[in-house]
Structure formats: C-alpha cells, structure tokens
Structure 1
C-alpha cells in the first residue's frame, strides 16, 4: 500500500508517521487490495485532528476524528474505518471480482462537484437557531456571506452506481450524504442519512419540460 502522511499546523514527527503507518496497514486483513492511503494530521484550536482516506478499488474509505491527543485521534479515525470494513467486508471483496468499467480510475469526462465546509459568524448561528424548523432560513446578504470562514474544501467525483452501492459508499466514508449518478436513470442524486429515524433519503435532479404560456 502506498501511504502519504501530511502534517498541518505543526511539525513532522517520525514517531507519528510510524504509528499512523502501523494503524493504517491493519486494513490489509480486510481488503484484498488497498491501493493507497492518505493521512492528514493537523492541529486546530488546541485539538488534534486525524483524517484518514484509503482507496481500495472502486471504494473510498474515510475516518475523521479529533481529540486532545494525536495518537488517540488516529486510533478513533481508524476505529471508524474498521467498523465499516467489518460490516461490508464481503461486499467489497465480491465487488472487486466484478469491477465495472465506469468504476475504474482514469475514466475521462467524469462529473465532479465541490464540497465546502464553512463556519458562520456567531451572530448568524444565533439567528439560524431561532428560525422554526418548518420555515426556510432567511437569505443571507452578500456582506454577511463574505464573513463566513471556509473550513475545508474537497472535490467529489460523481460516479454511476445503484442506490444501494451509493449508501454503502456513504457509510464507508463515514458521511451523512453522498453524491452519485443513478446507474439506471443517469440522474445526479444525493443519498443521505435521516437524523429523525436513521433511515435513508434520496434526492434526485431531473430536467423539466417547458410548457407553453
């Protein structure tokens, strides 16, 4: 497995590199082929953040955690990944045996979407909390929008797959949503985990036909 480790906001540590390498390589007991892994270790507001991403064939596994100790954050992030691997171990292996052309890396003309995580100023957070759940939040003026702080930006490749595989990929990445292209309808869809009951929801985009006035 090819492993890359990035340190942000604090100096590189050989001890942490070795510890992260040892922990990440534990996935080999679950996977026939783990191609590459990327570990990002960062310090923010006195908390130690660990983000671990592992590519295995068509699948992406991810765990993010933070604590007051970097070694503990690495452990917690890997615990998330291993929990999903135990759940989907057989499905991942079976899928590797029938790799599809549209899942292979290097496919041209793939659709990509940008995902940004941002922080609202404290006064806007208070306003949002006061809005009743059944009503839409008021639009934010451009001047206030400019005061938001982008915490993280990532690019998501939108791949064609059935809904059940999209749910599986979402869980493997330990996310609450996942953007994909429906394998049958070719619509760009979002599958997400409902907070109310733990079930899954599906949002699909589709074109509309203009009607004459």
Structure 2
C-alpha cells in the first residue's frame, strides 16, 4: 500500500509522519487487499487567531473507486484520530456493499464492452485556468448509473458528486437535499427536453430498506433544495 503524506502551512516532522502512518495503517489494516493508495493531507489555518481549525483529510483509492473522509478540530492530532476512525467506517461500508452486490441474484442484462479510459485527458494541450483558483481537480469519469453515483457520494464525504450517466451519456450531479434525501441535476435543452426525452430528476428518500426512487421534475427538486 502506497501512503502519501502532504502538509499545508505545516512541516511534516518525523514524529507527525509516524503518528499518521500508525493511525492510518491501523484504520485500513482489514482492507489492505482493496487499497492501492492512501493520500493524507494535513493543513493548518494561516492565521490561528482568525481560524484555529487544523484539518486532516484522507483519500483512499480502492478498486477504481474513491473513499474519502475529512475532520477538523483545534488539535491536529485529534483531527488525525477522528479521520482515521471515520475512514475505517467508510471502508467497512464500502466492503459490505460490495459483498452484498456479489451475493445478489444475477439478472439477465445486456453486456456492454468496457470502454478504456484515456490515461491523458489533456493530451498535448495545456489547461487554461481563471486568474483566481481555489482548487482544481482532474479525474477519470467512467459511466455509471444513478444508484452507483449515490453509493460514490456516500463514500467521498461531500454533499454532491458529479458523474457521467451511463443511461443518457450526459454529465449529472447528485446531491444531498437540505430537507433529507437526494436529488439529481440534469442538463435541460429546449423546452424541458434533452435529446428528445423529457427531463426528470431522481429524488431519493431513505426508508427502512434503503432508498426509494421517485421521478419528479427538475424545477421541483431544485426549488426544494
């Protein structure tokens, strides 16, 4: 397992590196076969008088998916403890879902050929960025269903997740709604149509058995967000 530790506004001392390594290795010890790389990012606010928060962020690459967790407190070591516990729970959740899927009855579906993902999305071009950039990320976006995107959202510890919808071939965003459940934002073309089809947004509400799927218009979902 590859472990990368980076710091912002802080020096990664030997004692700090050893502490992070011991905590993260313990957190992923039962998932070593799934884990390919672990990135740890530690940051401290530039002005402690304004913001005393010290943050630990962990990103783990597992079998083509990403599991992420972030925690912050007034103590960097406390933040590391918190994020280690959180990433362990996220990994357990990921493993349980994969085991449940592997044990589920096999359905007869159309088999699609795997499309290779370009290793260099920029090719020979240089990225042109705005003059003010907080943070920019480039990542592969393999096609997935809305349900698979929902599972990814629960693993990355964000309130939204952008994905390539395998059913429509369009970029969608799934997000947590303020009043519970999830919504999906889809592009609209013309008078409420996209590619000749009515645009609808999946609204997911959690129930005892997981999530129920109810299709509602885009405008309705956004207005309730």
Q: TM-score, normalised by structure 1?
A: 0.68
The answer to whether the aligner puts 1:107 opposite 2:117 as a matched pair is yes
Relative CO higher for 1 or 2, CA cutoff 8 Å, sep ≥ 6? 1
RMSD between superposed Cα atoms in Å: 3.3
Aligned length, in residue pairs: 172
> Where does structure 2 lack aligned partners over 5 or more consecutive residues?
104-112, 196-225
Moved over 3 A (4+): 92-97, 109-112, 149-153, 206-210
| Structure 2 counterpart of 1:163 | 146
Which residue is 2:70 aligned to?
Answer: 64
2:138 alignment partner, SS class: strand
Return the alpha-carbon distance in structure 2 between the equivalents of residues 54 and 190 of structure 1: 22
CA shift, 1:90, in A, is: 2.3
Superposition pairs of residues 35-114 of structure 1, within 5 angstroms: 35-44=36-45, 45-46=47-48, 47-92=53-98, 101-102=114-115, 107-108=117-118
1:91 shift after superposition: 2.3
Q: Is the 8 A contact 2:55 2:72 kept in 1?
A: yes
Distance 2:84 2:114 in 1: 30
Query: Take 2:147 and 2:88, find their aligned partners in 1: how far apart are those partners?
Result: 20
Q: Return the offset for 1:110.
A: 8.1
In the superposition, relative to structure 1, how do residues 72 and 86 fare at CA in structure 2: closer, same or farther (>3 Å)? Answer: same
CA deviation string 1:7-53 (max 9, x = no partner): 22122211111121122222231453200011111111432111111
Provide Cα deviations, 1:56-76, integer angstroms capped at 9, x if missing partner.
111101111211111111122
Task: Pick closer, same or farther for the CA change 1:110–1:12 going to 2, 3 Å.
Answer: closer
**After superposition, what is the alpha-carbon deviation per residue over 1:108-141, rounded to whole angstroms, capped at 9, x for unaligned?**
17879x9xxxxxxxxxxxxxxxxxxxxxxxxxxx
SS in 1 for 2:135: strand
Aligned mates of 1:194, 1:90 — CA distance in 2: 25
Deviation of 1:205 after TM superposition, in Å, equals 2.1
Q: Which runs of 5+ in 1 are unaligned?
A: 115-145
